[in-house]
Structure 1
Amino acid sequence: MARRTAASSYDERDVKVRPGRGSRPRSKLRPAHADAIPALVVAVDRGRYTCVLDGRTVTAMTARELGRKAVVVGDRVGLVGEVSGAPGTLARIVRVEQRATVLRRSADDDDPVERVIVANADQLMIVTAVADPEPRPRLIDRALVAAFDAGIEPLLCITKADLADPAPLVDAYAPLQVPAVVARRSPGTETTDVREVAEHLRDHVTVLIGHSGVGKSTLVNQLVPGADRATGKVNVVTGRGRHTSTSAVALPLPDGGWVIDTPGIRSFGLAHVDPNRLILAFPDLAAETPACPRGCHHFDGAPECALDVALAAGRVDPDRLASYRRLLASRDGQAGD
Structure 2
Amino acid sequence: MIQGRVVAAHGRQYLVELPDGSRLSCFPRGKKSEVACGDCVDLRQTSSDQGVIEAIRPRRSLLYRSNDIRQKLIAANVDLLIIVVATEPAFSDELVTRALVAGESAGIETLIVLNKCDLTDRLAAARARLTVFAGLGYCIRELCARRDHAEDLRPALLGRTSVLVGQSGMGKSTLINALLPQAGAATREISLALDSGKHTTTHASLYRLDADSALIDSPGLQEFGLGHLERAEIEQAFPEFRPLLGQCRFRDCRHDREPDCALTAALHAECIDPRRFAAYGRIVGRRDT
What is the TM-score with the length of structure 2 in the denominator? 0.80
Aligned residues of 2:241 and 2:263 also touching (Cα < 8 A): yes
Equivalent position of 2:59 in the other structure: 99
Equivalent position of 1:39 in the other structure: 4
Q: 1:91 to 1:147 in 2, by over 3 A?
A: same
Distance, in Å, in 1 between the alignment partners of 2:237 and 2:65 is 18
Residue by residue over 1:185-232, the C-alpha shift from the partner in whole angstroms, topping out at 9 and shown as x without a partner, is: 6xxxx43311221122222211111111110000001112200159xx
Aligned residues of 1:60 and 1:93 also touching (Cα < 8 A): no
Counterpart residue identity of residue 65, structure 2: R
Equivalent position of 2:135 in the other structure: 175
Please give the secondary structure, in 1, of the residue aligned with 2:236. Answer: helix
* 1:281 positional shift: 3.3
Matched, 1:137 2:89: no
* 1:302 positional shift: 4.2
Q: 1:58 to 1:169 in 2, by over 3 A?
A: same
* 1:40 positional shift: 0.7
Equivalent position of 1:24 in the other structure: none
* 1:169 positional shift: 3.3
Residue of structure 2 aligned with 1:75, choices 15, 27, 39: 39
Identity of aligned residues (%): 32
Q: 1:63 to 1:275 in 2, by over 3 A?
A: closer
Counterpart residue identity of residue 52, structure 1: E
Distance, in Å, in 1 between the alignment partners of 2:275 and 2:106 is 19
Rg (Cα) greater in structure? 1
Residue of structure 2 aligned with 1:59, choices 15, 24, 34: 24
Q: 1:67 to 1:46 in 2, by over 3 A?
A: closer
Distance, in Å, in 1 between the alignment partners of 2:103 and 2:131 is 19
* 1:324 positional shift: 5.3
* 1:310 positional shift: 7.2
Matched, 1:192 2:144: no
Aligned residues of 2:183 and 2:207 also touching (Cα < 8 A): yes
Supply the RMSD in Å over aligned alpha carbons: 3.0
Equivalent position of 1:206 in the other structure: 162
Residue by residue over 1:27-49, the C-alpha shift from the partner in whole angstroms, topping out at 9 and shown as x without a partner, is: xxxxxxxxx33211011245432
Residue of structure 2 aligned with 1:328, choices 276, 280, 284: 280
Matched, 1:318 2:283: no
Residue of structure 2 aligned with 1:244, choices 179, 183, 200: 200
Distance, in Å, in 1 between the alignment partners of 2:162 and 2:2 is 24
Equivalent position of 1:262 in the other structure: 218
Aligned residues of 2:166 and 2:221 also touching (Cα < 8 A): yes
Give the length in aligned residue pairs: 270
Matched, 1:120 2:85: no
Matched, 1:159 2:119: no
* Structure 2 gap ranges (5+): 189-198
* 1:308 positional shift: 5.4
* 1:326 positional shift: 4.4
Q: 1:216 to 1:283 in 2, by over 3 A?
A: closer
Residue by residue over 1:252-294, the C-alpha shift from the partner in whole angstroms, topping out at 9 and shown as x without a partner, is: 1147411111111222222222221123235674343223212
Equivalent position of 2:13 in the other structure: 48
* 1:247 positional shift: 0.7
Residue by residue over 1:3-62, the C-alpha shift from the partner in whole angstroms, topping out at 9 and shown as x without a partner, is: xxxxxxxxxxxxxxxxxxxxxxxxxxxxxxxxx332110112454321123341231434
- By percentage of residues, which structure has more helix? 2
Aligned residues of 1:224 and 1:254 also touching (Cα < 8 A): no
Aligned residues of 2:12 and 2:28 also touching (Cα < 8 A): no
Residue by residue over 1:155-211, the C-alpha shift from the partner in whole angstroms, topping out at 9 and shown as x without a partner, is: 1111111112243133221122111111126xxxx4331122112222221111111
Distance, in Å, in 2 between the alignment partners of 1:284 and 1:210 is 23
Aligned residues of 2:65 and 2:226 also touching (Cα < 8 A): yes
Q: 1:55 to 1:298 in 2, by over 3 A?
A: farther
Residue by residue over 1:290-314, the C-alpha shift from the partner in whole angstroms, topping out at 9 and shown as x without a partner, is: 2321211335x642223456789x9
- By percentage of residues, which structure has more strand? 2
Aligned residues of 1:138 and 1:330 also touching (Cα < 8 A): no
Q: 1:147 to 1:283 in 2, by over 3 A?
A: closer
